[in-house]
Structure 1
Amino acid sequence: MQVCAAPPFAASHALSCDARWRPHDLLRLHRLSQFDGEPAWVRASFARAPYAVVRRALAADGFVAIGLRGTERSQRYGTWVHRDDIEIAVPPEALARRSPLAERNALPAFAALAALQRDTAGALAGFVWGPTGSVGFELATQTPTVTFSSDLDLLIRVPEELSRHMAIQLLDYLQATAQPASIRVDAQLETPAGGVALAEWAANKPRAMVRHARGPQLVTDPWAHAHDNA
């Protein structure tokens, strides 16, 4: 279960997101402030790998909403970091060509990623993309995080409209790539309106659920209007 710290600023000051750090970027932090009600596992997890992922939430000036992960699937914690405590940011696309430690290559999620990396003429070739979730975290930190049952989560940047037909082709391609590894590839499209699940956009529903810093929204066209601070 994910829990979230109370913001260290008044709710009325949560008006925007700093565009320097985008959702799914991994941040290496100098330090992590402690908040009341913090789960017991957080300090050990941060000592093990001082990284957090940028999450979608409005923040006051100078703050970034982040998420921490523990060693268990249920260990997720949403909190806040001051921008002065951020050392570096690693976007998903910076991890698209990275490889895990040699002894980790055989894990299904890494095998599926390697198949995508080898296919330089495949359906992903025309996109800026990269791994997120446990795969992205391990590639960025070199800390064992992926398990035998881990899915491969991807972020695909789509600043221009993606047709439903192309979305279906892309979804079929990713599913075919994942099948030999017996895992699921969960891809999210990063659009001007926010994050949209590739599978949902390919399903040709009248409206798609968009994940935005202001909260989930149902839209007919994620490219119709560019939202600031998505």
Structure 2
Amino acid sequence: MVIHPHDLIEVSNLKYLSLYEDKEWVTASLRRTPFVVVRRADPSADGCIPVGVRGQERNQREAAFLDPKGVSQLVSPYAIVKRQMWNSLPTERRQQPVLQLMDLLAEMMADWRWGPAGSAGFEIVTQYPTMKETSDLDLVIDGSEVIDYAVAERLVHKLEHLGVRIDIQLETRDGAYVLREILERRASTVVLRTSSGPKLVRNPWQ
């Protein structure tokens, strides 16, 4: 089983989840929606998966570890797009500004391997309402191969005119970059977000 940051995991039984602290909102959230998101960190010594629990409030985020035996279902951001999972959301939820964009994005980004992360990805997979009128859209793009800067710039320019703030992370084999940072600083160093922390890198694909 290959697992990457931003993947969503349905937990089969909460006994497989190790929490740093037993907070009331964490337990309530997991009972309501038993999904966790894979976070960018090294596995634990016994091979458990680093995950995060989302609460209803923006500041409610809790780090945890999940025993692989507790994985009931795994959905990547790329799988969300491949299966166009947003189409199974209730009609009224699809009226949220971010969710309204999904069909258009699928058309605009047909040449990319991409997917929604953050609250959009969470709602699409779990069908639990997390999006708001003011929500941003977090996207991940597969950057395992060298990208064409000019093509990426044209994409970012188009996305800027959609009326929703869109943040894009480029996922490479070694970690993730903020796409905008790469485009703005192509002659300088950029931050690579790795499982062991951020690093300054000169060539993203070296």
TM-score, normalisation: structure 2: 0.90
Equivalent residue, structure 2, for 1:64: 49
CA contact 1:112–1:152 (8 Å) conserved in 2: no
For residues 136 and 52 of structure 2, what CA distance do their matches in structure 1 show? 19
Q: Return the match for 1:217 from 184, 199, 206.
A: 199
Q: Counterpart amino acid of 2:168?
A: A
For residues 196 and 208 of structure 1, what CA distance do their matches in structure 2 show? 8
Change (3 A) 1:218 1:43: same
After TM superposition, the structure 1 = structure 2 runs for residues 93-172 of structure 1, keeping only pairs within 5 Å, are: 93-96=78-81, 97-99=84-86, 100-117=89-106, 119=107, 122=108, 124-172=109-157
For residues 153 and 84 of structure 1, what CA distance do their matches in structure 2 show? 29
Residue ranges of structure 1 left out of the alignment (5+ in a row): 1-18, 225-230
Equivalent residue, structure 1, for 2:77: 92
Percent identical: 36
Q: 1:150-172 deviations in whole A, cap 9, x for unaligned?
A: 11111110211113323211211
For residues 38 and 203 of structure 1, what CA distance do their matches in structure 2 show? 42
Q: Counterpart amino acid of 1:210?
A: L
Q: Counterpart amino acid of 1:41?
A: W
After TM superposition, the structure 1 = structure 2 runs for residues 31-50 of structure 1, keeping only pairs within 5 Å, are: 31-32=13-14, 33-50=17-34
CA contact 1:131–1:152 (8 Å) conserved in 2: yes
C-alpha displacement of 1:34: 5.0
Q: Return the match for 2:190 from 196, 201, 208.
A: 208
Equivalent residue, structure 1, for 2:7: 25
1:51 aligns with 2:35: yes
TM-score, normalisation: structure 1: 0.81
Query: Which structure has more helix as a fraction of its residues?
Result: 2
RMSD: 1.5
Q: Counterpart amino acid of 1:68?
A: V
Residue ranges of structure 2 left out of the alignment (5+ in a row): none
For residues 85 and 160 of structure 2, what CA distance do their matches in structure 1 show? 21
C-alpha displacement of 1:130: 0.7
Count of aligned pairs: 198
Equivalent residue, structure 2, for 1:7: none
